[in-house]
Amino acid sequence: MLIDGHGRKVDYLRVSVTERCNFRCQYCMPDKPFSWKPKENLLSFEELFLFIKAAMDEGITKVRITGGEPLLREDLDKFVAMIYNHNPAVDLALTTNGYLLKQTAQKLKDAGLKRLNISLDSLKPQVAKEIAQKEVLGSVLEGIEESLRVGLGVKINMVPLKGVNEDEIVDLLDFAKERGIEIRFIEYMENAMANHQIKGLLGKEILEKIKEKYRIEKIGRQGSSPSFAYKLEDGYRFGLIDPHKHDFCESCNRIRLTAEGFLIPCLYFDEAMSIKDAVQKGDIEAAVEVLRQVLRDKPEKNRWNEDENELSNRAFYETGG
């Protein structure tokens, strides 16, 4: 079992397989093109897997593949199969913008993927284009339908932004509800890479919008999920991810691995340690020692609820969100 320096059990590893993306979301990486890190810097799937395998043997039971846009990395289904074949009981999920899912959902499902979180910020083509800086809505919707068709578990992620898509919170909730899938509203997390003009809605503002149409009941945090659950009168459940809230970090159970081999203890802070040398030498013990060190150093809390002017330098496209 893996326990961090604050006594929290850590059983969840998020793995970013690339920082590259085919979107340029305003809240994530609005100002590219820029120089991507050279492809040679990336760990191969075999190297990433060496670490993931060791981490699963130490107590990781949930692995999420993310990015950048993870579906841009060739043969991602083979990587999924490596993890699944090592331990078919692992809770194996993927976070994606959905653009390439129409072509890949079946292969991912066949490889052992169980669940997908798909980002969907608007149902209006023009607004989706404004956020992602590309015409994306049609392909994303096709990707969602295809994922449901092949039997993958699907959740929708939405980041509500003031004056941009805040009027669609209820529409997106209804979109998910009609399909019997969960939607999770994520508070915009201010960071140095994002468009500084944008402002997100706080959790309570998101709930106010939903209350204009529905009566809602508070359920609570589900285990160590970052998402706080709510229920409508008809029993439909949705989630709210509210890192600005004071109690958000109490049950944090996760660490992050970047495509270049940095292990990151907290999404907010710059701290990271590399497992690259260890996995490239095939030295599993050294990689596990880095994992233990990162857990010892894991901060108690993020700082999104503190000083608005002090931005996190962490790029979401590197850490995978």
Binding site for ligand SAM (CB under 6 A): 21, 27-28, 66-67, 69, 95-97, 119, 157, 159, 186, 188-189, 191, 194, 316-317, 320-321
Please name the residues in contact with 312: beta carbons below 8 A apart, sequence gap of 6 or more. 189, 190, 191, 192, 267, 268, 269, 302, 303, 304
From ligand SF4, ligand SAM, none, which one binds at residue 29 (CB under 5 to 8 Å depending on kind)?
A: ligand SF4
Integer Cα distance of 264 and 77 in angstroms: 25
Based on CB atoms, which residue is closest to ligand SAM, 8 or 314? 314
The CB-of-167 to ligand SF4 minimum distance in angstroms stands at: 21
**Residues facing residue 62 across a β-bridge:** 12, 91
From ligand SAM, ligand SF4, none, which one binds at residue 122 (CB under 5 to 8 Å depending on kind)?
A: none
Alpha-carbon distances of 190 from 259, 267, 291, rounded to whole Å: 23, 12, 27
The CB-of-288 to ligand SAM minimum distance in angstroms stands at: 27
**Residues facing residue 229 across a β-bridge:** 220, 239
The CB-of-46 to ligand SAM minimum distance in angstroms stands at: 23
Based on CB atoms, which residue is closest to ligand SF4, 79 or 316? 316
Based on CB atoms, which residue is closest to ligand SAM, 73 or 276? 73
Integer Cα distance of 214 and 220 in angstroms: 18
The CB-of-293 to ligand SAM minimum distance in angstroms stands at: 25
Q: Contact residues for ligand SF4 (CB under 6 A)?
A: 21, 23-25, 28-29, 67-69, 97, 119, 316-317
The CB-of-184 to ligand SAM minimum distance in angstroms stands at: 9
Integer Cα distance of 87 and 81 in angstroms: 10
Give 63-95 as a DSSP string: EEEESS-GGGSTTHHHHHHHHHHH-TTSEEEEE
Based on CB atoms, which residue is closest to ligand SF4, 16 or 253? 16
